[in-house]
A and B are shown apart, each in its own frame.
Chain A
Amino acid sequence: GAVVSQHPSWVICKSGTSVKIECRSLDFQATTMFWYRQFPKQSLMLMATSNEGSKATYEQGVEKDKFLINHASLTLSTLTVTSAHPEDSSFYICSARGRVRGSNEQYFGPGTRLTVT
């Protein structure tokens, strides 16, 4: 099946620093990438949708200046958490949508656990 990778798989950073998370579609071209946030024992909350080469569309309540999303190519999107604070600690999951074996499915990365101390 289609593979989506994320890097890093976990990161610990100090409050006030910025963290970049990469999401790559390894064997298909992702026309659309999505970034989700998951709190412990909760569902996935969509943060933003991005199409290659255009600005991301953020969901209501998500600060676009804090969560910078770049979708520079059909295989790479990055999420940068700027000036991270402990409340930003969470599990961040990206997903990529593209044409795989004739269907337009959404495939998920393994997630990145961010801990801000």
Chain B
Amino acid sequence: GEDVEQSLFLSVREGDSSVINCTYTDSSSTYLYWYKQEPGAGLQLLTYIFSNMDMKQDQRLTVLLNKKDKHLSLRIADTQTGDSAIYFCAETLSGNTPLVFGKGTRLSVIA
């Protein structure tokens, strides 16, 4: 079945770049997403990438996709304390199938 793996913790200093990594097993994945969850809150869609893309940049966020290795990463430039949260990687086969989530990476930003 489908599986999505993420490292559980990442700690960075304010102002540095954060890179959160994710691997997935289903080569048919078409859409790959990054969500942010702050304490006690729901999920906020940060960005997504289609499987026919290698990179997507949106302000401080850069998503890289290596489809051959089934590896997805999220880079946050100039990380701020407000970026502290859990980041979930998710994938889906099509617009009509449920998302499959990783366990989430807890990002801690040290001032």
Contact = CB atoms under 8 A, between A and B. Distances in A.
A1 B95 CA distance: 18
Interface residues of B, number: 18
A4 B41 CA distance: 13
B42 A43 contact: no
B35 A108 contact: yes
B103 interface: yes
A104 interface: yes
* Residue in B41, B42, B43, B48 with the greatest tally of chain A CB atoms within 10 Å: B42
B88 interface: yes
A67 interface: no
A106 interface: yes
A interface, over-half SS? strand
A1 B104 CA distance: 23
Contacts, number: 45
B82 interface: no
B104 A108 contact: no
A27 to B, nearest CB: 15
A35 B84 CA distance: 25
A113 B98 contact: no
Nearest to B4: A43
Given A108-B42, A109-B42, A43 B102 contact: yes
B101 A108 contact: no
A46 interface: yes
B95 A97 contact: yes
B44 to A, nearest CB: 7
B45 A43 contact: no
Contacts of A44: 43, 88, 101
A8 interface: no
A4 B43 CA distance: 11
Interface in B1-49: 35, 40-45, 48
A113 B88 contact: no
11 contacts: A6-B42, A32-B96, A43-B101, A44-B88, A46-B98, A93-B42, A93-B43, A106-B45, A108-B42, A108-B45, A111-B41
